[in-house]
Amino acid sequence: MNDAKRVIVALDYPDQLSALSMADQLDPEKCRVKVGKELFTRAGPEVVEALHKKGFDVFLDLKFHDIPNTTAKAVRAAAEMGVWMVNVHASGGRRMMEAARNELDQVNGARTFLIAVTVLTSMERQDLADIGMDIEPLEHVKRLALLTQNSGLDGVVCSAQEVAPLRQIVAPEFQLVTPGIRPADAEVGDQKRIMTPGEAIGAGSTHLVIGRPITRAALPVEALQRIENEILAAR
Ligand SMILES: O=c1ccn([C@@H]2O[C@H](COP(=O)(O)O)[C@@H](O)[C@H]2O)c(=O)[nH]1
């Protein structure tokens, strides 16, 4: 694991210009970037291509959740763009995830990581109850992580709070990608299941997805540097 690239900066911007101007302040040798629903819906594949030209590994975070055929073809389209990582929702089920895995394996030369979202880090027990699930987030995350692994995917998105228990039940190479990262002095916002960068690395997160604590900081580069220092100290 290249420790210098543990951080994935979420480029949650409403236009390509803002996203690329943030990217220009980052070093592709030190971090990766994430393109999510807002930016991709506004700017499309062009922004992914522009980030690739700048040398960044791109996590295309579109969280596909549809019938198996539609999801598989969307994953293929992402892989054909050459993204480093793409994701689906694990709650789409085994057949959906297997179809996505099989389709991805047919893309020549692509080595795109395919992972699945378990329970969104913005959700807590009450949110699961609201959608008819009487279960602790951790229990549901464990169940979905095992289903994801058994469906042949490379890892999951989960909270860093779940990393230590998940490490007990998944393979060592299974990736645990964790958003909901908040430095001690950062605003929590809409996230619920959070951890600091140091705690997340200490727990065994493979990659930390961090957006607003960097992109909305008065000095984003300095904010990222503080996070990198915290990560180094926690190793
Ligand atoms: O469970 C999830 C899955 C994805 N995300 C995404 O990560 C970033 C987090 O941004 P912050 O500004 O650091 O909160 C954002 O793009 C989400 O779409 C997540 O937060 N939780």
- CA distances to 47, 147, 205, 215 from 157, in Å: 23, 13, 10, 21
Using a pLDDT cut of 70, give the percent of the chain over it. 98
Q: From CA 124, how far away is CA 217, in angstroms rounded? A: 26
Tell me, yes or no, whether 1 lies in a domain: no
CATH number, position 101: 3.20.20.70
Q: What pLDDT digit, counting tens, does each position of 98-143 carry?
A: 999 999 999 977 699 999 999 999 999 999 999 999 999 999 999 9
What residues make up the domain containing 129? 7-234
Question: Using 50, 70 and 90 to split pLDDT, how confident is the model at 3?
Answer: low
Mean pLDDT, the chain, integer: 96
Residue 118 CA: nearest ligand 1 atom is 1
Q: Given this model, what pLDDT does residue 174 score? A: 98
Tell me, yes or no, whether 116 lies in a domain: yes
Report the pLDDT averaged over residues 54-83. 98
CA–centroid distance, 177 to ligand 1, in Å, is: 11
Supply the ipTM of this predicted assembly. Answer: 0.99
Counting every residue written for the chain, the total comes to 235
As for how many domains the chain has, the answer is 1
- Catalytic (active site) residue 54: no
Atom 13 in ligand 1: which residue has the minimum CA distance? 211
- CA distances to 50, 225, 228 from 148, in Å: 31, 33, 30
**Annotated catalytic residue within 61, 142, 154, 192:** 61
Q: Given this model, what pLDDT does residue 108 score? A: 73
